Amino acid sequence: MAGLTPKGAATRDRIVRAATDLILERGVGGMTLDEIRAGTATSKSQLFHYFPDGKRDLVAAIAEFQSARVEQAQRPWLDHLDSWESWHGWRDAVVAHYRTLTHLHCSIGALVNELTPTDPALAATVAAHADRWLDHLAAGVRKMRAKRLIKPEADPEHLAMMVFAALQGGLLVMQMRDAVEPLEAALDGALLALQSQRS
């Protein structure tokens, strides 16, 4: 948020971090602004100072924060993905990140699904963070093809979508079963399918 003092930026960041776990545990519809204020130790005036549009602005900030946090957990692998070792390293980093969470929700996917019926414009804004994740995977597949590690006729966008869909499906079943094993199985299957395109 532009124009904030360092103290103001730190306060806003604190609110977003605290609200993120509240929203991820209970969903957007499961949290009122009063509950968010109580959970983040924030006054009503303070909350609306940093988030003028209330819950809508806060959800957008949470999506941005959580997306950055998930991306950072996948580094350095996510920025390369130019070898089979890097793809397996990425897989392990994703699993390790979700294994450490007290809630087993994929924040971006869960937020998009919840917001689409009531606020499609905000859902599209949130979904853009997931699209960035997909773009990283597609860039990795293109690097693999350029290095002739996969077949030259392979379609990077199609293969990246296959991996991404498996990832999102694994996250959904992980949430349903409250266990990380479905995510592991989904990613293992996706990497086996990707390896079937070896040149």
Domain map (residue ranges) of the chain: 59-195
Output Rg (C-alpha) for the chain, integer angstroms: 19
**How does DSSP classify residue 150?**
B
How far lies 108's CA from each of 59, 112, 149, 189, in Å? 10, 6, 31, 22
> What pLDDT does residue 123 have?
74
DSSP secondary structure string, 132-148? HHHHHHHHHHHHHHHTT
Q: Indicate whether 174 pLDDT > 80.
A: yes
Measured CA to CA, the distance from residue 12 to residue 20 in angstroms comes to 12
> What pLDDT does residue 104 have?
54
Q: Indicate whether 120 pLDDT > 60.
A: yes
State the architecture of 59-195 in CATH terms: Orthogonal Bundle (1.10)
pLDDT range class, residue 7, cuts 50, 70, 90 = confident
Measured CA to CA, the distance from residue 128 to residue 120 in angstroms comes to 12
Q: Indicate whether 58 pLDDT > 90.
A: no
Q: Which amino acid is at 81?
A: L
Residues 39 and 19: beta-carbon distance below 8 Å: yes
Measured CA to CA, the distance from residue 188 to residue 114 in angstroms comes to 28
> What pLDDT does residue 121 have?
78
> What pLDDT does residue 181 have?
95
Q: For residue 10, how many C-alpha atoms fall within 13 Å in the half-sphere facing its CB?
A: 3
Q: Which residues pair with 198 in a beta bridge?
A: 150
How far lies 101's CA from each of 18, 24, 180, in Å? 14, 11, 10
Q: Indicate whether 76 pLDDT > 70.
A: yes
